[in-house]
Amino acid sequence: MDERLRQDKQRGPSRFVARAVLGLLRGHARLRDKLASMLCSGAFESFGKRSVIALPHRLEGVERIAIGSACWFGPDSWLQSIEGPTAGGRIQVGDRVTASGSLVLSAASSIVVEDDVLFARNVYVSDHIHGYDDPDRPVHEQGLSKVAPVRIERGAWLGQNVVVCPGVTIGRGAVIGAGSVVNSDVPPHVVAVGAPARVVKTFAAGHEATASAAVTSEDLVAK
């Protein structure tokens, strides 16, 4: 321990400079992202106060995307509203939604994300898939298929690399384990993991989990 303290003192000036530079870079990134979000906000259907979509990002069909207040979308997120079979898709995001980064929301019909939803990195949510039934045509020429609305209810938490398929509702306060593929509805206040996701634990609505239903790190990994 004494040797570590001695080394820290020797590196003191360089460490101070390094930390100062890191602080400046973080401050610059926050200011840049906030300014870019403010300048772009008028293009959206609506864009709440204190919400930020960090750079870099990919945004399409923003006139059909509504973002609530105090939301954070980390770098490399992709929000797109595309033309569906009957009309353009719509994305509606509530208040205080947080996405660590690389979130994809792709709507040809409707994606609704309610208040206080938490996304880990690399979550993919789509209300459609590519058609693939015709073996004589490339997939990218077959248009969209299985278009159906998606809803993620208030306070849900989706772990890293989760995929949410068309037509799915994820219930209030549900926890989806990392790497899971959700292709059917998930009830409120449960833990669901796997591909396809299955319920492994249930919580009493409005209460913390009992000891027998406590969430462990193993519960949050798809098996």
Q: Which residues are catalytic?
A: 130
For residue 34, what is the DSSP state?
H
Q: Please report where in the chains the tokens 């020429």 appear, as a residue.
A: 141
Residue 130 · residue 139 · CB < 8 Å: yes
**Omega within 30 of 0 (cis) for the link into 56:** yes
* Sheet of strand 52-53, all strands in order from the earlier edge strand to the far edge: 52-53, 72-73, 98-99, 118-119, 157-158, 175-176, 190-193, 198-202
**Omega within 30 of 0 (cis) for the link into 196:** yes
Closest CA to 164 of 174, 176, 155, 172: 176
